[in-house]
Structure 1
Amino acid sequence: MIRIGNYLIVILLSICSTSSFLKAQVFNSDDSSFAAGTPKTGRLWGYAFGDYAIKAHSDSMVRGGANQYTGMKESENAFAFRRIYLGYDYNISKKFSTEILLAAEDNVTHTNAAGNTTTSGDLLTNNKYTFYIKYANLRWRNIWRGTDLILGQSMTPAFSANSERVWGYRSVERTVADIRRTPSFDLGVSLQGRFDNEGNYGYDLMVGNGTSAVPENNKFKWFYGDLWASFFDKKLKIQLYGDYERLNWTNSWHHARNMVKAFIGYADKLYALGAEGFINHGQNDVAGISGSSADTLNADALGLSFFGRASILPGKLMAFSRIDFFNPDRHYDNQKYETYQGFSSHYDPNTKEKFITAGLDFTPVGNVHIIPNVWYNSYDGRQANLTGVEKHDYDLVYRLTFHYVFGK
């Protein structure tokens, strides 16, 4: 009886604690009321997207690095989630708010014809899908007029608030800078400001580890900054972005990188158009190899992206397309050097890439999307005297993507 009594006391205390918590906190799925900063209001939200994908053709040289279909065998097919989000936003007061976001992303593991295993994503050691902490931060609103201070793990200024939103199909593919793994989030401190009351002009500054959710393992930090502007009732958006990080810095080894990026896009309910381009300069970032000798060289990577979408049946059916061009080093010299070795993990200096996607977005009800689409990425080898599949080959995937949103 004593044990039963103890259990009942624990249960009652738990119920009382839960009741007090629910009374003190209002869960609200209405974006507008939450954004107003009403104290002690919270919002639980999330979304997910994934596909049924069929690999129609596979690059014979297994190029593509961390791309989601690198190494997937031709004719292989699979059902897979590529992202699941579960987030909670809470207004502590009118001045302070916080957010936490759990993410499970890109659970892709394939073995190619040569027996090489390629894994892309955030997996447990047994390759099971799991959540990790993507955002966890505290926002201090109007630390001075028009500027918020954000402490913790949060969105970077790189593309998430501008080009990704105008593109509108992260469920289909990352933006051109995101594919090359420019961090979309980082752990650090940020200032997010507006120059006018209407929110048409603003800036973002951030200093972070540069390692996203992975703990820092060096003394160098990643510096981010942008200026942005909106025109024509916020339909036209322009962004200028830059970042910088030292990778290694000694008397004999100065290794660093910095990106400069520009974006312009126009979006309304019926159509959208956008263009994005970057130059990513790598100081002492590649080695040009000729015979037994190697020269350490600078490299300038170029990326360009053009996209558009248009409504076919308003509110029900949208068509979209996009093309990207990526040159990992515009100074590449295949007459002087036999091959290049890159020091940055997401760039293969010996291969140009071209990415194309197109599809239809069927929306049976708001926040639910069924998206048949084509995913294509081609590879052009840059060394001298290449022929056949070494000179050119591609990955081609046919997909039926699903995407749904809740709480927003």
Structure 2
Amino acid sequence: MIRHTARPGRLLMLGLTLLLGGLQNAAAQSPRFSGYMFGDYYYVAASHNPDLEERNGFWFRRIYFTFDQRVAERWSVRLRTEMSQPGDFTSSSKMTPEVKDAYVQWTNGRHTLLLGISPTPTWDRLEKAWGYRSVEKTALDLYKFGSSRDFGLAARGTLDADGRVQYHVMVANGASNGTETDKGKKVLASLAFSPVNAFTVEGYADYEDRPGRTNRATVQGAAWYSRKEGRLGVQVAHQIQQKADGGEDTFDVVSVFGVVRLQDRLHALARLDHQFQPNPRAESIAYVPFAPDAEASFIVAGLDYALTDQVHVMPNVEVVTYSNAAGATPDSDVLARFTFYYTF
């Protein structure tokens, strides 16, 4: 059973005092604007939902616009907005910008403090190792067992001069980039170790104090090996969701990915995930149709061709198969996509 923990209000107040105290010496520097976009032409070749079969079209799954500015020695700020088109196959609403990042950061040697809406430790490092967010989210992100952002106080950096031991801790609202609506908070932490430059192992844990004794806790382990010729990684995660009646639901996910360099501008990529329990959030997963009443195996495979350093095209196929269903086993889902990605 998940135990109730002390609220981290004192830690937040101490961090806020340290972080905000240095802003009085801020001096404006030149700003930097950047961004990227990715989307697909998609075709639903098969689906557990017959209404989705043969659906096809273009969509943007993400548009980023980022403003960075160094405001003083050791001090910088970031504001990032995000837009995307609905991925539920029914909505036709226009894209609306929302704040993705909004933080001030203070860096002192190997350590950085961040205040505001910033990346969480949940899959920040792992997503960089996978390297293909433009194709698909990492497992916990895709299956909605965490958030890439939260509003709070974070610290990250390295614990040794060689940068082989990296940490990232955060105390946050637990409401992603939305508004806090309860008195509980979420504590998140990751620790990564790179014994050699090409290999990294990472451990992660979080605890979220939620209303009505519906607290949640997650543990995750990951490892990846990366060289110019390609990379290989594995992720294993376990989440406990406490229920108001005193029971608990558990969810387990394993993910394995690989990328191989075929030519200077051509790479092949593949990933296999398995969810060991039916996912109650399956029907709300955007852009990929999932059935909610069976274990699911997810496969994505494709090619990445760099037309230029800033423009990539990535034909790929996503397949979802099902097992151990509560009733009849759902039909498989097959989604063919021509993904495009460009940065500026």
Q: What is the TM-score of this pair, normalised by structure 1?
A: 0.71
The one of 210, 218, 221 aligned to 1:262: 221
1:221-260 equivalent positions in 2, closer than 5 A: 221-233=185-197, 235-249=198-212, 254-260=213-219
2:47 is aligned to 58
Q: Does 1:169 align with 2:169?
A: no
Partner letter of residue 45 of structure 2?
A
Query: Partner of 1:82: helix, strand, or coil?
Result: strand
Q: Write the deviation string for residues 196-226 of structure 1: whole angstroms up to 9, x where unpaired.
A: 1232212111011112121111111111001
Q: Which whole-Å CA distance do the structure 2 matches of 1:42 and 1:201 have between them? A: 31
**Number of residue equivalences:** 311
1:275 is aligned to 234
Q: Which consecutive unaligned segments of at least 5 residues does structure 2 have?
A: 1-26
Query: Partner of 1:110: helix, strand, or coil?
Result: coil
Give structure 1 regions of 4+ aligned residues with deviation exceeding 6 angstroms: 345-349
Query: What's the offset of the Cα at 1:296?
Result: 5.8
Q: Which whole-Å CA distance do the structure 1 matches of 2:204 and 2:132 have between them? A: 21
Q: Which consecutive unaligned segments of at least 5 residues does structure 1 have?
A: 1-37, 62-71, 112-118, 120-125, 286-294, 330-339
Aligned residues of 2:78 and 2:101 also touching (Cα < 8 A): yes
Q: Does 1:139 align with 2:105?
A: yes
Q: Which whole-Å CA distance do the structure 1 matches of 2:137 and 2:340 have between them? A: 16
2:312 is aligned to 369
Q: Which whole-Å CA distance do the structure 2 matches of 1:363 and 1:205 have between them? A: 35
Q: Which whole-Å CA distance do the structure 2 matches of 1:341 and 1:318 have between them? A: 34
Q: What is the TM-score of this pair, normalised by structure 2?
A: 0.84
Against the structure 1 CA distance between its residues 341 and 373, is the aligned structure 2 distance closer, same or farther, given a 3 Å change threshold? closer
1:106-185 equivalent positions in 2, closer than 5 A: 106-111=85-90, 127-142=93-108, 146-160=110-124, 162-181=125-144, 182-185=146-149
Q: Which whole-Å CA distance do the structure 2 matches of 1:265 and 1:221 have between them? A: 31
Q: Does 1:324 align with 2:273?
A: yes
Q: Which whole-Å CA distance do the structure 1 matches of 2:207 and 2:325 have between them? A: 28
Aligned residues of 2:262 and 2:268 also touching (Cα < 8 A): yes
2:37 is aligned to 48
Query: What's the offset of the Cα at 1:284?
Result: 2.2
Q: Which whole-Å CA distance do the structure 2 matches of 1:296 and 1:280 have between them? A: 16
Q: Which whole-Å CA distance do the structure 2 matches of 1:88 and 1:198 have between them? A: 30
Q: Which whole-Å CA distance do the structure 2 matches of 1:158 and 1:348 have between them? A: 25
Q: Which whole-Å CA distance do the structure 2 matches of 1:198 and 1:238 have between them? A: 16
Against the structure 1 CA distance between its residues 219 and 328, is the aligned structure 2 distance closer, same or farther, given a 3 Å change threshold? farther
Query: Partner of 2:128: helix, strand, or coil?
Result: helix
Q: Write the deviation string for residues 25-60 of structure 1: whole angstroms up to 9, x where unpaired.
A: xxxxxxxxxxxxx97133211100000000001113
Q: Which whole-Å CA distance do the structure 2 matches of 1:107 and 1:101 have between them? A: 20
Against the structure 1 CA distance between its residues 106 and 41, is the aligned structure 2 distance closer, same or farther, given a 3 Å change threshold? same
Query: What's the offset of the Cα at 1:305?
Result: 0.3
| Aligned-CA RMSD value | 2.4
Q: Which whole-Å CA distance do the structure 2 matches of 1:178 and 1:259 have between them? A: 13
Query: What's the offset of the Cα at 1:352?
Result: 1.0
Q: Which whole-Å CA distance do the structure 1 matches of 2:82 and 2:192 have between them? A: 27
Query: What's the offset of the Cα at 1:163?
Result: 1.3
Query: What's the offset of the Cα at 1:238?
Result: 1.5
Q: Which whole-Å CA distance do the structure 2 matches of 1:247 and 1:269 have between them? A: 43
Query: What's the offset of the Cα at 1:324?
Result: 0.1
The structure that has the greater radius of gyration is 1
2:334 is aligned to 396
